[in-house]
């Protein structure tokens, strides 16, 4: 899979990514799509999708604040879009997380409420 594609599109203002269809096609034969219901990254994505998450316990591959912000924006835009079937969205988001984080979080921290 071509990882350079992951964060190359544009985040759409109302959710989704400009290149999400291409990303779904790119990972169609990967472990993220074929085994999306049992892939650990994809299982974590499903928990984030349905319950939100506090990302403060995430261990990032990058130490650059701008890179983290960009990747989080793309991840959230992908999850908020309506252009992909759920299993494709989960597969692409699992692939994204595997490239964003140095390790899979051991648990899902509940999303903190804004005050």
Higher per-residue confidence, 112 vs 17: 17
Domain ranges of the chain: 27-115
The number of C-alpha atoms within 13 Å of 113 and in the hemisphere containing its C-beta is 1
DSSP single-letter state for residue 101 = B
Which tokens in the block code for residue 81? 């879009």
User: pTM for this one?
Assistant: 0.89
pLDDT at 107: 67
Mean pLDDT of the chain: 90
55 falls in which pLDDT band (50, 70, 90)? confident
6 falls in which pLDDT band (50, 70, 90)? very high
């Amino acid at each position: 899979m071509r990882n350079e594609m992951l964060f190359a599109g544009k985040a759409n203002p109302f959710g989704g990514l400009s290149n999400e269809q291409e990303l779904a096609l790119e990972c169609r034969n990967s472990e993220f799509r074929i085994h999306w219901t049992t892939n650990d990254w994809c299982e974590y994505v499903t928990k984030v999708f349905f319950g939100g998450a506090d990302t403060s316990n995430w261990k990032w591959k990058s130490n650059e604040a701008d890179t983290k912000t960009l990747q989080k924006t793309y991840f959230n835009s992908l999850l908020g879009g309506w252009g992909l079937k759920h299993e494709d969205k989960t597969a692409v988001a699992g692939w994204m997380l595997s490239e964003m984080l140095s390790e899979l979080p051991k648990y899902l921290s509940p999303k903190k409420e804004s005050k």
